[in-house]
Amino acid sequence: MTSKEQILQLREELNKHNYNYYVLDSPSISDYDFDIKLKKLQALEAKHPEFFDANSPSQRVGGEITKNFETLVHEQRMYSLDNSYSKEDLLDWETRIKKMVDGDLQFTCELKYDGASISLTYENGNLIKAVTRGDGVQGDNVTANIKTIRSVPLQLKGDFPERFDIRGEIVLPYEGFNKMNEERIEIGEEPYRNPRNTASGSLKLQDSSEVAKRPLECLLYSIVGSNLNITTQFESLEKARSWGFKVPQAAKLVNSIDEVFEFINYWDKHRHELPYETDGVVVKVNNLQQQEELGYTAKAPRWAIAYKFKAEQVSTRLNTISYQVGRTGAITPVANLEPVELAGTTVKRASLHNADQIEKLDIRVGDEVFVEKGGEIIPKIIAVDLTKRPENSQPTQYITHCPECETELVRTEGEAQHYCPNYNGCKPQIIGRIQHFISRKAMDIEGLGGETVALLVNENLIHNYSDLYELTKEQVLPLERMAEKSADNLIKGIEQSKQVPFERVLYALGVRYVGETVAKKLAKHYKSIEAIAEASHDHLINVDEIGVKIAESVLEFFNSQTNREIINRLRDFGVQLEISAEKLANQTNILEGNIFVVSGVFHIVSRDELKKLIEDNGGKVSSSISGKTNYIVAGDNMGPSKKEKAEKLQVSIISEQEFLEMVQ
């Protein structure tokens, strides 16, 4: 085979596997094998720049930087949709359009996906551009970013028209959204508000490799162009699906408004089971000939109408506003509401986000407010019912001092949140920091929980995490719900945490923006806490993946005399503050890029040792088997369902012995 043939074959294979994984949700190859093929392709492409193709699957990882997004005019306008809120509205719409067209009406019912609209242009089966809706007439060219979304086909299959536009919605499924937020909260960043805004914000990121990391999806709903040889909307969905697009299966062809209503009623109940947000149903006249007869108003097609699900919203009284202090000192205002039923649960509190939000909505204690449950878990206040505002009502004065320690709050230019700067003296910060220190991914102290930490701090038995190591059984025994055995376990757990490796200790310290991954990077690069504490700003930002924000936070942490003293105490107690010599000697990169699942009972090494070996050699350990898993290290009694899943996903199953040979 010539290099060119090899390149073309690899591209085709990778496109197919991508499609199986991201469009059909049924992977046909392990991630490991996928990566091998991708690396092979990348190597060949690097050697043969003459065969470059902007739509090669190798382009999915991104890397292109867009400083200013170019404005492009849509060849066909992107319209908005008229809204309806009741069965009457829909019947009115039907009556109106029946007068304007000949023949019976059929409708395609689709879900209204809540994300960011996008228009994709394909020529000869290749994606040539992707443009945001903008004002409907023109939008931004975001092609480089869209290419990184795995469910967007770069190369179509089947019998597609020579040139056409296809429209859809970029969404961020809940699972990916929540995961992104967990990671942000973990390192002290503000969580994203909702999937929709995060999805549309993602499209305008300058670095496409950042977009590639976000689990975005593209759901398609409409084809536009000429000479398409398509006669109905439903057919266009089926065709789009056959060319490789992700078109949700919920779409349904019906013959009457009654059936439309059945569809609406069904999805009003079941939409929460979908992996992404929807805010209604879009009803479209099915026949494209009839669509043409109906045409458009200035703003929207006459042949379609959106039915908006009733926002799960109620009004209730705002009794008080309280202010919570987080582990990082961030202040979050919380609305305490007159309890009210909303979407099947009793709501007593709602997030107010920050001072700007309160000011913007002019929210005051005593107001009757509208509360809504959107994609977020915590309900939010969306408006005030001004007609019910009490006469003597006063604008809310945001607090100026910490509710816990009375220190004056600060607010950094450009940040939405106020902070309590009393790092070492503010109870919730102290407790939060120690709770983080003992948490599972950090020091993982068995026998000690979050509530006990709060008790210990409140009883003045500890003031920072280094004090844990001086606790005695006699001191903790008198605490609430503490018995002989639990006290023993607590002391033992603390003692054992002295063996926790340096990278996790570093994470446990709770330096702002230093999450698990960053801690691993820093530990690997500097090897000891002294080296990190002495690193300069310039030196830090030269470390892979360490940016200015993290560097500044690290410098600030080690500039504090108190922090240095705490670290000295940890050292005296024997906590690991450097990579152990043994570990250094044993570390390699031979497993880099491979994800392992460990299952069953082992004989030569313990389960934990096995996991450690994987990580020390550059591999990753995951708890469940997925398309991303490369190997399963199977001991005795591996579960049959795991085995079945592994076989289905074609993940290599290796024995303990085989694994040990890999790292020998």
What's phi and psi for 195, nearest 5 deg? -60, -40
Smallest distance from Zn ion to CB 398, Å: 15
Q: How far apart are CA 112 and CA 267, in angstroms?
A: 11
* Residue 17 or 252 with smaller CB distance to ligand AMP: 252
C-beta of residue 604 within 8 angstroms of C-beta of residue 638: no
Pattern 553-592, ligand AMP, x by CB under 6 A: ----------------------------------------
Q: How far apart are CA 539 and CA 196, in angstroms?
A: 38
Q: Give 603's contacts (C-beta < 8 A, 6+ positions apart).
A: 635, 636, 656
The residue from 37, 67, 99, 112 that is catalytic is: 112
Among 32, 221, 234, 243, binds ligand AMP (CB under 6 A): 221
* Residue 111 or 613 with smaller CB distance to ligand AMP: 111
Amino acid at 400: T
Q: What are the structure tokens assigned to 63, written together?
A: 């890397």
**Binding of ligand AMP by 217 (CB under 6 A):** no
**Binding of ligand AMP by 138 (CB under 6 A):** no
Q: Which does residue 422 touch among ligand AMP, Zn ion, none (CB within 5 to 8 A, set by kind)?
A: Zn ion
Smallest distance from ligand AMP to CB 399, Å: 38
C-beta of residue 519 within 8 angstroms of C-beta of residue 191: no
Smallest distance from Zn ion to CB 153, Å: 53
Q: How far apart are CA 83 and CA 91, in angstroms?
A: 13
Among 37, 60, 112, 433, binds ligand AMP (CB under 6 A): 112
Interface stretch with ligand AMP, choices 1-9, 107-115, 384-392, 589-597 (CB under 6 A):
107-115
Q: Which does residue 169 touch among ligand AMP, Zn ion, none (CB within 5 to 8 A, set by kind)?
A: ligand AMP
**Binding of Zn ion by 426 (CB under 5 A):** yes
Pattern 404-423, Zn ion, x by CB under 5 A: xx-x------------x-x-
Residues 161-176 as b or e (16 or more Cβ within 10 Å = b): bebbbbbbbbbbbbeb
**Binding of ligand AMP by 169 (CB under 6 A):** yes
**Binding of Zn ion by 399 (CB under 5 A):** no
Q: What are the structure tokens assigned to 503, written together?
A: 């990278």
C-beta of residue 292 within 8 angstroms of C-beta of residue 233: no
- Start-to-end CA distance of the chain, whole Å, equals 36
Q: Which does residue 110 touch among ligand AMP, Zn ion, none (CB within 5 to 8 A, set by kind)?
A: ligand AMP
Q: Edge-to-edge strand order for the sheet containing 620-622?
A: 620-622, 595-599, 631-634, 652-655
Smallest distance from ligand AMP to CB 127, Å: 18
Among 20, 28, 42, 80, binds ligand AMP (CB under 6 A): 80
Smallest distance from Zn ion to CB 331, Å: 9
Q: Which does residue 285 touch among Zn ion, ligand AMP, none (CB within 5 to 8 A, set by kind)?
A: none
Sort residue 197 into left (φ over 0), alpha (ψ -120 to 50) or beta.
alpha
Number of alpha carbons in the 13 Å side-chain half-sphere of residue 626: 9
Number of residues assigned to the chain? 664
* Residue 300 or 479 with smaller CB distance to ligand AMP: 300
**Binding of ligand AMP by 151 (CB under 6 A):** no
- Residues linked to residue 138 through DSSP beta bridges, in sequence order: 73
Interface stretch with ligand AMP, choices 110-118, 342-350, 423-431, 533-541 (CB under 6 A):
110-118
**Binding of ligand AMP by 164 (CB under 6 A):** no
Choose among 151, 160, 80: nearest CA to 126.
160
- # of chain residues touching ligand AMP (CB under 6 A): 12
Choose among 302, 144, 160: nearest CA to 220.
160
**Binding of ligand AMP by 74 (CB under 6 A):** no
Smallest distance from Zn ion to CB 420, Å: 3
Burial degree of 596 (CB within 10 A; 0-12, 13-18, 19+): buried
Smallest distance from ligand AMP to CB 130, Å: 14
**Binding of ligand AMP by 197 (CB under 6 A):** no
C-beta of residue 552 within 8 angstroms of C-beta of residue 531: no
Is 112 a catalytic site residue?
yes
Burial degree of 43 (CB within 10 A; 0-12, 13-18, 19+): exposed
Smallest distance from ligand AMP to CB 248, Å: 8
Interface stretch with Zn ion, choices 25-33, 104-112, 246-254, 426-434 (CB under 5 A):
426-434
Interface stretch with ligand AMP, choices 27-35, 90-98, 106-114, 552-560 (CB under 6 A):
106-114
Among 117, 198, 233, 629, binds ligand AMP (CB under 6 A): 117
C-beta of residue 575 within 8 angstroms of C-beta of residue 497: yes
Q: What are the structure tokens assigned to 166, written together?
A: 């296809």
Q: How far apart are CA 38 and CA 45, in angstroms?
A: 10
Q: Give 658's contacts (C-beta < 8 A, 6+ positions apart).
A: none
Smallest distance from ligand AMP to CB 655, Å: 50
Three-state SS for 38-86 is: HHHHHHHHHHCHHHCCCCCHHHHHCCCECCCCCEEECCCCCCCCCEECC
Q: Which of residues 286-325 bind ligand AMP (CB under 6 A)?
A: 306
**Binding of ligand AMP by 110 (CB under 6 A):** yes
Among 113, 398, 465, 526, binds ligand AMP (CB under 6 A): 113
* Residue 169 or 616 with smaller CB distance to ligand AMP: 169
Question: In the block, which residue shows the tokens 């190591």?
Answer: 469
Q: Binding residues for ligand AMP, per CB under 6 A? A: 80-81, 110, 112-113, 117, 133, 169, 221-222, 282, 306
Q: Binding residues for Zn ion, per CB under 5 A? A: 402, 404-405, 407, 420, 422, 426
What residues are annotated to the active site? 112
